[in-house]
């Protein structure tokens, strides 16, 4: 294959990479994208989308199992069964449809896509080992290069992936239900997958080294999740360190120094993710690093001129929507537009049961920034919609500046609250005050009314609490 040149070269076709390439091409920038696997990256292929599919299937199965003779709704159904292999096939069909959609978008935008593994020769040149044996490799020179190589599951030295020690990738493709599943790591990935398998019928154990699950959140947000896990029969052990996995099960040490063993068919390791930088020979570049991550400025520019980095490779928060926003911005910079990162918040969602949504500052974070704030919340026990859903656990919480009522943070925990994330983020990005939200008519009956009610309470005129 002959050597190539372009104005913008994107390495990695995940959410940030493909959005960057499409937007750049839309703006008339000569753009190439190199992807070693399938378009869509971790999120589409082995992360966000597959996990939500499995979570949905588990919710439906668990719900069907509740339709016994004594249920409150008066619905009686035969005991259901699940064909996990068919469930995985359905999940894979969704991924395949979305893969095709991303490929079509890239083609329609005029992006040149090259399948293969990219490695840096210098700050302007990349070698791509293609999948086509007859083509060999190609060298691409570019005015601007975007590193969008993403991340991969972090292994534990004593429990490398393989056999019955699995990562989230394998956990989302199991075709046989494990009788017992031990999970090392009580963050959102471990809890999402663990909850799904508990609903499908596995006995699930979670071992977390911190003092609580989801340690990035405060206890008010995590308490409903912990309560639900207990209802599902999930055993959670905190302040514990996993040691090894043998035929006898998972061995771990608890805070008093004693050692326990949990019998388990599979051990799922969810202790975090690390940037994927080794295969692309990032060491060939003189980049300033922030630990293992590439350091960037407010334009996603690295320490080398014309080299940008976006998404997980730049560190937390490792969220697909953050990568997409960064990718769009870098594309516009490559097209000559004046852009910089000016986002007030990046919402996060834990698809646990119940779900957790965070936008902006938690109360403790606001206080740490020397902000004087009022914190108000509206419980779903007072929500008609929550009652009709049989899910009154949770609330919406608003963090607003005392002086002017400007909203600096909104959090919620509850069934289905993921869909409120956009409302929360929009209020913060628009600089809304609590009176603005309180004066906005919210449809009834909806969970979104809880946001309005919490803001009414902050303004001193609560109606339903």
- Which amino acids are annotated catalytic? 444
Place of tokens 């999948």: 131
- Which residue intervals of 8-83 are DSSP H helices? 15-26, 41-46, 48-65
Task: Show Cβ contacts of residue 34 under 8 Å, excluding neighbours closer than 6 positions.
Answer: 9, 10, 11, 12, 13, 113, 114, 115, 116, 117, 118, 126, 128, 140
Q: Quick check: 211 and 254 in contact, CB under 8 A?
A: no
Beta-strand runs (E) in 185-248: 203-207, 235-237, 241-246
Q: Quick check: 265 and 179 in contact, CB under 8 A?
A: yes
- CA-to-CA distance for 159 and 166, rounded, in angstroms? 9
In terms of DSSP bridges, do strands 31-35 and 112-122 run parallel, antiparallel, or are they unpaired? parallel
- CA-to-CA distance for 144 and 287, rounded, in angstroms? 15
Place of tokens 């753009």: 31
Task: Show Cβ contacts of residue 12 under 8 Å, excluding neighbours closer than 6 positions.
Answer: 34, 35, 41, 147, 148, 149, 150, 311
């Amino acid at each position: 294959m002959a050597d190539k040149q372009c104005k913008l070269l994107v390495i990695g076709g995940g959410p940030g990479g493909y959005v960057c390439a499409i937007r750049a091409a839309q703006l008339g920038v000569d753009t190439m994208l190199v992807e070693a696997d399938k378009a869509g990256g971790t999120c589409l292929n082995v992360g966000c989308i597959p996990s939500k599919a499995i979570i949905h299937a588990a919710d439906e199965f668990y719900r069907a199992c509740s339709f016994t003779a004594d249920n409150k709704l008066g619905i009686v159904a035969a005991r259901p069964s699940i064909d996990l292999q068919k469930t995985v096939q359905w999940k894979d069909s969704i991924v395949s449809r979305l893969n095709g959609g991303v490929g079509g978008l890239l083609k329609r935008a005029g992006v040149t896509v090259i399948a293969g593994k990219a490695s840096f020769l210098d700050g302007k040149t990349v070698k791509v080992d293609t999948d086509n044996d007859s083509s060999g490799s190609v060298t691409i020179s570019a005015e601007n290069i975007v590193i969008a190589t993403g991340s991969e599951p972090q292994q534990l030295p004593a429990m490398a992936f393989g056999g019955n020690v699995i990562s989230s990738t394998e956990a989302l493709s199991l075709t046989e239900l494990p009788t017992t599943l031990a999970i090392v790591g009580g963050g959102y990935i471990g809890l999402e997958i663990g909850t799904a398998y508990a609903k499908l019928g596995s006995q699930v154990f979670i071992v977390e080294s911190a003092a609580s699950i989801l340690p990035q959140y405060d206890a008010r947000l995590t308490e409903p999740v912990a309560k639900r896990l207990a209802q599902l029969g999930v055993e959670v052990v905190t302040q514990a360190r996993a040691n090894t996995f043998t035929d006898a099960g998972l061995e771990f040490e608890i805070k008093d120094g004693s050692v326990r063993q949990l019998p388990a068919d599979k051990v799922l390791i969810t202790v975090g993710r690390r940037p994927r930088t080794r295969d692309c020979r990032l060491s060939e570049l003189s980049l300033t690093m922030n630990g293992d991550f590439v350091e960037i400025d407010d334009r996603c520019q690295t320490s080398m001129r014309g080299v940008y980095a976006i998404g997980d490779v730049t560190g937390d928060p490792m969220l697909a929507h953050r990568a997409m926003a960064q990718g769009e911005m870098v594309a516009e910079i490559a097209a000559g537009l004046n852009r910089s990162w000016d986002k007030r918040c990046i919402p996060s969602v834990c698809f646990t049961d119940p779900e957790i949504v965070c936008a902006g500052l938690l109360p403790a974070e606001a206080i740490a920034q020397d902000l004087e704030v009022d914190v108000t919340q509206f419980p779903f026990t007072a929500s008609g919609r929550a009652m009709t859903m049989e899910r009154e656990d949770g609330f919406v919480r608003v963090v607003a500046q005392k002086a002017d009522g400007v909203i600096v943070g909104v959090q919620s925990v509850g069934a289905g609250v993921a869909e409120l994330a956009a409302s929360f983020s929009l209020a913060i990005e628009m600089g809304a005050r609590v009176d603005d939200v309180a004066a906005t008519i919210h449809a009834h009956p909806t969970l979104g009314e809880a946001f309005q009610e919490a803001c009414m309470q902050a303004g001193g005129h609560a109606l339903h609490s």
